[in-house]
Structure 1
Amino acid sequence: MTMDKLEIKNLNRNFKFGKQKVLKNINVSFLSNKIYGLFGENGAGKSTLMSIIADYNFPTSGEVLLDGENVHDNDNALSKIYYMNQNNMYPKNEKVAKTFKFVQSMYEGYDVNLQNKLVKEFQLNTKSRFNKLSTGYKSIMKIIIALCVPCEFIMLDEPTLGLDARNRDIFYRELIESYTDHPRTFVISTHIIEEIDKLVSDVVMINNGKIILNDSADNIRSKAYSINGPADLVDEYVHGLDIIGKESLGQYETGHIMGRLPEKEIPSGVEVNKMELQKLIVNLMDRSEGD
């Protein structure tokens, strides 16, 4: 099995004649057979980064390399990358079935059997024209294609846009099954962090165009804690630690910290719990906004 590496080096992207810096010196690698969560607020630069990786957009400086080769205008490298985004890349008036046939003709090894299974699971009417589909079913059509193309790197930008709870559940279940059957790399950008908390192996977080977190999910979870109890006891216990956020309710307080716990006894009445990934991301966003 080849071990592909998608590497983003010293990447910058400016808009509006160079006055607005959307991405600022991005350095990050996406490795084979992992599921990455790409998180950040609207406008943080996630979609821009994904579009540059897929060569839909171009950096002001820096480069995107796949196994050491620049992906720009590189058909061989780009054939290994698939980007599902919120823009409608497919003919608006074409029937879904015909669009599926077109994509099949573009990709040798496209999984038709999985496509047919997913069409039934999602109850997608393939006789419908793309522009007649609801927002959710437009997402479903794109999801089906993304799971069936034979690419090593699949980037999903808000894949569950417009999906109800039932169809989101199908998507996550089928994603895991597909990944288990044919390991490859998924990079998922979503605001519904709690739904992919247990799926992701690694976390990359962008805020104001910069990467502020890039680590394995297990490592992050091992050093992110929420400490709650009477405010005075919590303050005393977390003093000197890396506090990324606090919440107060009357005389009680929750302190969110990153790093090692202090080597001292936990005060009676104070609870220490592992922090949920969504809570961690939100607190890091808030702290970055305050910097």
Structure 2
Amino acid sequence: MTGIQIQELTKRFGDNVALQNVSLTFQPGKIYGLLGRNGAGKSTLLGIAANRLFADSGQVLIDGEPACENDRAQKKLYMMSEKNLYPKDMRVRDVFRWSERFYGSFDRQQAQVLAQQFGLNTKKRVKELSTGYTSIFKLIVALCLDVPYLFLDEPVLGLDANHREMFYHLLLKNYADEPRTIIIATHLIEEVANLIEEIAIIDEGRLLMSQSVQSLLDSGYCVSGKAGDVDAYAAGKKVIGEDVLGGLKTAYILGSCDRQALCDSGLELSKLNLQKLFVELTKKEGEQ
């Protein structure tokens, strides 16, 4: 059995339930978006898989082996997270050197090339890096490791627009050169929408859905027009959200489209947007 299996995972921090009976599978050779609002449980799930946290119940299997306290399983993955686990007084170039010794598969020459492209001064100590360059430093380590499972938890924290574009380009090139499972945990949906093939949405510690991006977007649609006409068309359908501007309305609907009724009503049909779909699915009561 290959891939990563999350089996009925539950984790609490005091009275806070971070994960509640979550089960899903990350298959080999795909780019996943693990999506959720801040505090939804994304980092906790990846942290348990990476052996940084321990579940209260359930387990994670990596290629059929338990992930917990298993060096053979853990050497197959690398997790880049917001937390900095590197010695703060160590210089970046020395982190690259020790990464090569520790992992064996680390490409130190490529790391130096990427550092030049991003303008990262490898003579600096880790503690001297800005928030953005700390993220860049950790991303370079991640991209230069030859492991089958790569976890990127909020990878573009502090990066400016140019550096984010560089990272996304390099990530796709890295994946094209050597396909592997990449899991991007983020709440910045719009930026990763064109990168990810599969999606898993977590909300308040529960798994809302797990499916391909294309099948999710094909599962619904938007209709726009006069508010009364939209209401009449949407009656009895699964409406997950609405936007109203003056006398106009847009409804976001899951299910099959009644094209004849749309033609008769004169409403405008459009495709679902991944970010808008995510926002509507995770919207809390009282939020606009």
- Tell me if both proteins adopt one fold, taking TM over 0.5 as the criterion: yes
Aligned-residue CA RMSD in angstroms?
Answer: 1.5
Inter-partner Cα distance in structure 1 for 2:269 and 2:26: 33
Inter-partner Cα distance in structure 2 for 1:48 and 1:288: 25
Unaligned residue ranges in structure 2 (runs of 5+): none
1:170 counterpart (166, 170, 181): 166
Inter-partner Cα distance in structure 1 for 2:217 and 2:109: 37
Q: How many residues align?
A: 286
Indicate whether 1:88 and 2:84 are aligned. yes
Deviates more, 1:222-231 or 1:194-203: 222-231
Tell me how far 1:4 sits from its aligned partner: 2.7
Q: What's the counterpart of residue 226 of structure 1?
A: 222
1:13 counterpart (11, 21, 32): 11
Q: What's the counterpart of residue 181 of structure 1?
A: 177
**Which amino acid in structure 2 is aligned with residue 10 of structure 1?**
E
Tell me how far 1:116 sits from its aligned partner: 2.2
Q: Give deviations 1:182-203, integer Å, cap 9, x for gaps.
A: 1001110122211110110001
Tell me how far 1:113 sits from its aligned partner: 3.4
2:275 counterpart (255, 261, 278): 278
**Which amino acid in structure 1 is aligned with residue 244 of structure 2?**
S
Inter-partner Cα distance in structure 2 for 1:97 and 1:37: 31
Inter-partner Cα distance in structure 2 for 1:229 and 1:111: 55
Q: What's the counterpart of residue 125 of structure 2?
A: 129
**Which amino acid in structure 2 is aligned with residue 171 of structure 1?**
F
Tell me how far 1:262 sits from its aligned partner: 2.3
Seen in structure 2, the aligned counterparts of structure 1 residues 289 and 58 have a Cα distance that, compared at 3 Å, is farther
Paired residues of 2:2 and 2:64 also in contact (CA < 8 A): no
**Which amino acid in structure 2 is aligned with residue 204 of structure 1?**
A
Instruction: Provide TM-score, normalisation by structure 1.
Output: 0.95
**Which amino acid in structure 1 is aligned with residue 218 of structure 2?**
S
Paired residues of 2:108 and 2:144 also in contact (CA < 8 A): yes
Paired residues of 2:31 and 2:183 also in contact (CA < 8 A): yes
Q: Secondary structure at the match of 1:110?
A: coil
Q: Secondary structure at the match of 1:257?
A: strand
Q: Secondary structure at the match of 1:116?
A: helix
Paired residues of 2:153 and 2:184 also in contact (CA < 8 A): yes
Percentage of identical aligned residues: 41
Alignment of 1:204-215 (within 5 A): 204-215=200-211
Inter-partner Cα distance in structure 1 for 2:161 and 2:250: 31
Inter-partner Cα distance in structure 2 for 1:220 and 1:154: 24
Inter-partner Cα distance in structure 2 for 1:164 and 1:20: 33
Tell me how far 1:158 sits from its aligned partner: 0.6
Tell me how far 1:112 sits from its aligned partner: 2.5
Q: Give deviations 1:171-219, integer Å, cap 9, x for gaps.
A: 0000000000010011101222111101100010000100001110010
Q: Secondary structure at the match of 1:33?
A: coil
Tell me how far 1:142 sits from its aligned partner: 0.4
Paired residues of 2:227 and 2:249 also in contact (CA < 8 A): yes
Tell me how far 1:224 sits from its aligned partner: 2.6
Deviates more, 1:232-241 or 1:53-62: 232-241
Inter-partner Cα distance in structure 2 for 1:168 and 1:220: 26
Q: Secondary structure at the match of 2:283?
A: helix
Q: Secondary structure at the match of 1:121?
A: helix
Instruction: Provide TM-score, normalisation by structure 2.
Output: 0.96
Tell me how far 1:47 sits from its aligned partner: 0.6
Deviates more, 1:260-269 or 1:238-247: 260-269
Q: Give deviations 1:211-258, integer Å, cap 9, x for gaps.
A: 001110010111231211101111111222211101111110010111
Q: What's the counterpart of residue 239 of structure 2?
A: 243
Inter-partner Cα distance in structure 2 for 1:238 and 1:35: 34
Indicate whether 1:256 and 2:264 are aligned. no
Q: Secondary structure at the match of 2:93?
A: helix
Unaligned residue ranges in structure 1 (runs of 5+): none
